Amino acid sequence: MSTAAPTMSSTTTSPADVRPSGPAPTSGSTAPTRLLSAASREIVAATASVVAEHAEAITAVFYPKMFAENPDLLRVFNQGNQATGEQSRALAASVVAYAVHLLDPQAPSFDHVMRRIAYKHCSLGIRPEQYTIVGRNLLAAVAEVLGDAVTPAVAAAWEEVYWLFGAQLIAEEARIYAEAGVDPATPLRPYRLVRRIEETADVVSLVLEPADGEPVPATVPGQYVSVFVDLAGGRRQARQYTVSSTALGTRLQITVRRVRGVNGAPDGEVSSFLHDGLAVDDLVEVSAPAGDFVVQPSDTPLLLASAGAGITTVLPIVENIARTQPERTVIVAHADRTAQDHALRETVQHVGRQLDDFTSYTWYETVAPDDRRSRPGYMDLSEIALPDDVQVFTCGPLPFMRHVRTSLVARGVPADRIRYEVFGPDLWAAQIPS
Ligand SMILES: Cc1cc2nc3c(=O)[nH]c(=O)nc-3n(C[C@H](O)[C@H](O)[C@H](O)COP(=O)(O)OP(=O)(O)OC[C@H]3O[C@@H](n4cnc5c(N)ncnc54)[C@H](O)[C@@H]3O)c2cc1C
Ligand code: HEM
């Protein structure tokens, strides 16, 4: 590889400015710093800010290029996220953040980020050989957007970054596939819809049974599955849905909120299909459970703070605690528009009553006059008592989770005790501070 000086430079953004603000670091570190060659380190340090500034332009070129060459990938990538640009932002931000991570020996562990991407990839059946396709198109897009600035040395340095990232992801994905006993060549199983439970006007629970006669896979509460559906016109799309109950033995339940388009945007494709187009006895294809938004067995009290569809993570966790550690303290706090929109409310309450120490709080934007228990407005955690060593799991829209985190940190809850699940791809674009 040439060691020629890079030709790109910038004065507006330093590499440190583009550091991801993901979740709190977990213990240990992937520590790949020493893996990047000295020549590439220098070049990446000098060019990271320019790549960061152009990251979205690069991914805007990358995806159409890749889909034109590989139309099959349109079925694997979420076309809603393509339309809104969320996936482009997530990919761009992750590559730049990884580069910054490589350069900074003090950088917090990247393990959590790596695991999140790897789990998402596994739920979609991503295979090692596809990294060549993505890498080729991504690096071609970098060259196209940055033009002459991309000397052979610059291209080689960024190729090295890409493959360091890719190799770590491939290894993590191999581990996840092996642990789940999944052959990446056949990552999906057919499931039959056996029951629909209309939870609220906009939320339905779908109870699914394996159609291949094999048992349901083990699910750690808080994990999700990717559900693949065949849409009109031969189109196929996948979305992720939390396994909303793990208490069904031979069945698997997901709970889907219908996404309505606002300001002229179309209604959500897959959630609308699951609400309107999937009848009892129909088949869908489902991945193995994935994700690391999971509660570990411990004596620590838990606060589960959710809003809207985020309630789907709460029920399986409460069910699991009731089954395995009924003495553990659990506080659930949920925010919704109204009590009528609050899905799974009765079920969570019912299971919560099996715990020794269970408290629940609700906030509704509109509280019915006869509802004396719920609080009006947005969730305000300063109103509730919390144990000192509380561990927090939060899931809901990003502004909600930011608010939860800020108010808890202000109360002295250490940031590393707050875990969150984003129901979309923009972990980094989200700018949730660590
Ligand atoms: C880990 C994880 C767990 C999840 N768990 C759950 C769960 O338990 N329950 C649940 O209900 N959801 C869950 N989700 C969210 C779910 O995966 C889907 O994102 C959600 O159902 C919306 O999918 P959709 O196909 O209906 O919407 P999409 O078609 O993907 O649309 C998404 C948004 O993009 C907008 N959009 C689409 N096309 C355009 C366009 N051309 N121009 C402008 N805007 C556009 C739509 O209006 C909509 O607001 C989870 C997500 C993740 C990542
Ligand atoms: C080093 C290489 C790669 C990086 C850095 C990367 C990064 C990412 C990131 C950051 C996300 C969003 C994760 C989340 O927060 O949910 C993602 C999702 C995804 N990735 Fe990758 N990825 C890489 C390689 C690949 C490859 C080889 C494929 C195969 C075609 C692929 C397909 C996907 C798909 C389909 C999604 C979900 C998209 C969506 O839901 O909109 N990725 N990836």
Q: Which residue has the higher pLDDT, 34 or 21?
A: 34
Task: Tell me the pLDDT tens digit for each residue of 355-368.
Answer: 999 999 999 999 99
Cβ(130) – ligand 2 distance below 6 Å:
yes
Q: Which CATH number fits domain 188-287: 3.40.50.300, 2.40.30.10, 3.40.50.2300, 3.40.50.2000?
A: 2.40.30.10
pLDDT band at 426 (very low <50, low <70, confident <90, very high): low
CA 285 – CA 241 distance, rounded (Å): 13
Q: Which helix (H) or strand (E) holds 262?
A: none
What is the Å distance from ligand 2's center to 388 Cα? 38
| pLDDT over 50 (residue 431) | no
Cβ(358) – ligand 2 distance below 6 Å:
no
Averaged pLDDT for residues 333-355: 98
Which residue blocks in 181-251 are alpha helix, DSSP H?
Answer: none
Neighbours of 334 (CB within 10 A): 25
Q: Domain locations in the chain?
A: 15-180, 188-287, 302-421
Task: Tell me the pLDDT tens digit for each residue of 172-200.
Answer: 999 999 999 999 999 999 999 999 999 99
For residue 238, the ligand 2 atom closest to its alpha carbon is 40
pLDDT band at 154 (very low <50, low <70, confident <90, very high): very high
Q: Which amino acid is at 365?
A: E
Averaged pLDDT for residues 361-378: 96
What is the Å distance from ligand 2's center to 121 Cα? 6
| pLDDT over 80 (residue 10) | no
Ligand 2 test: best mutation among 134, 138, 159, most atoms within 8 Å of CB? 134
- What is the reported pLDDT for 5? 40
Q: Which residues contact 420 (CB under 8 A, 6 or more apart)?
A: 23, 293, 393, 394, 395, 401, 405, 432
Closest residue (by CA) to atom 14 of ligand 2? Answer: 425
Question: So what CATH class is 15-180?
Answer: mainly alpha
Averaged pLDDT for residues 160-166: 95
How many angstroms separate the first and last alpha carbons of the chain?
A: 36
Q: Which residue has the higher pLDDT, 3 or 219?
A: 219
CA 423 – CA 53 distance, rounded (Å): 26
Catalytic residue among 63, 119, 160, 173: 173
Closest residue (by CA) to atom 26 of ligand 2? Answer: 131
Q: Which CATH architecture has domain 302-421?
A: 3-Layer(aba) Sandwich (3.40)
Q: Are both 15-180 and 188-287 of the same fold?
A: no
What is the Å distance from ligand 2's center to 221 Cα? 24
The candidate with the shortest Cα–Cα distance to 375, out of 387, 388, 386, 361, is 361
What is the Å distance from ligand 2's center to 387 Cα? 38
The single residue listed with the structure tokens 């693949």 is 228
Cβ(116) – ligand 2 distance below 6 Å:
yes
pLDDT band at 20 (very low <50, low <70, confident <90, very high): very low
The single residue listed with the structure tokens 């303290």 is 329
DSSP one-letter string for 387-433 = -TT-EEEEES-HHHHHHHHHHHHHTT--GGGEEEE-SSS-TTTTT--
Ligand 1 test: best mutation among 207, 341, 423, most atoms within 8 Å of CB? 423
- What is the reported pLDDT for 93? 82
Mean pLDDT of all residues belonging to the chain: 89
Averaged pLDDT for residues 340-358: 98
| pLDDT over 60 (residue 32) | no
- What is the reported pLDDT for 7? 45
Burial of 196 (0-12, 13-18, 19+ CB in 10 A): middle
| pLDDT over 80 (residue 27) | no
Q: Which residues contact 407 (CB under 8 A, 6 or more apart)?
A: 380, 381, 382
Task: Tell me the pLDDT tens digit for each residue of 383-404.
Answer: 899 999 999 999 999 899 999 9
Averaged pLDDT for residues 156-171: 96
- Between the ranges 8-22, 24-38, 58-72, where is the mean pLDDT highest? 58-72
- What is the reported pLDDT for 2? 36
Closest residue (by CA) to atom 37 of ligand 2? Answer: 77
- What is the reported pLDDT for 427? 56
Query: Residue 413 corresponds to which tokens in the numbers above?
Result: 């809850």
**Collapsing DSSP states into helix, strand and coil, what is residue 184?**
coil
Task: Tell me the pLDDT tens digit for each residue of 265-318.
Answer: 999 999 999 999 999 999 999 999 999 999 989 999 999 999 999 999 999 999
- What is the reported pLDDT for 14? 31
pLDDT band at 43 (very low <50, low <70, confident <90, very high): very high
For residue 117, the ligand 2 atom closest to its alpha carbon is 13
Cβ(343) – ligand 1 distance below 6 Å:
no
CA 77 – CA 93 distance, rounded (Å): 17
What is the Å distance from ligand 2's center to 62 Cα? 13
Q: Which residue has the higher pLDDT, 5 or 134?
A: 134
Q: Which helix (H) or strand (E) holds 190?
A: strand 188-200
| pLDDT over 70 (residue 252) | yes
Ligand 2 test: best mutation among 58, 79, 91, most atoms within 8 Å of CB? 91
> Residues of the chain with pLDDT > 90: what percent?
77
Closest residue (by CA) to atom 5 of ligand 2? Answer: 95
- What is the reported pLDDT for 424? 83
177 is annotated as an active-site residue: no
What is the Å distance from ligand 2's center to 383 Cα? 40
Query: Residue 122 corresponds to which tokens in the numbers above?
Result: 């596994």
383 is annotated as an active-site residue: no
| pLDDT over 50 (residue 72) | yes
